[in-house]
Amino acid sequence: MVSLLQVPAIGCQWFSCSVDAYTYSKQIASSRSFCIYEEIENMRNAGLIQGGSIENAIVCSVLSGWLNGPLRFCNEPCRHKILDLIGDFSLFAQNGHQGFPFSHLIAYKVC
């Protein structure tokens, strides 16, 4: 398995914002899932990435960089991780409560 820090095109990224409906829709929601090209065969053999395609994901090679750019944001992988976190936190909603969680998050080396 390749560490994201070993992929020069991804490198170390960060993104900071106050999340509201507008910021979510314009800055986070459109970020695509991503994968490392050199790991695709192993992921498929493991039954993962079944719905993944170059239309809904971005693919990065350790040696060649982004294979199906351009990126929507220079830090699109980071923003997609934020999208994942928002989705995970939405699972905490109870009794019909919904919306964005009120919190301050710092995620370091999230994979």
- Strands across the sheet containing 57-61: 33-36, 57-61, 65-66
Dist CA 88 CA 7 (whole Å): 26
Phi, psi for residue 33 in degrees, rounded to 5: -65, 160
Q: Which residues of 51-90 are buried (b: 16+ CB within 10 A; e: fewer)?
A: ebeeeeebbbeeeeebeeeebebebbbbbbbbbebbeeee
Reading the chain (111 residues) residue by residue, the pLDDT tens digits are: 666 558 899 988 889 888 888 999 999 999 999 999 999 899 889 999 888 887 889 999 999 999 998 999 999 999 999 999 888 888 877 776 666 666 677 776 666
pTM over 0.75: yes
SS3 at position 23: helix
Report strand pairing: 57-61 vs 65-66: antiparallel
Dist CA 31 CA 85 (whole Å): 13
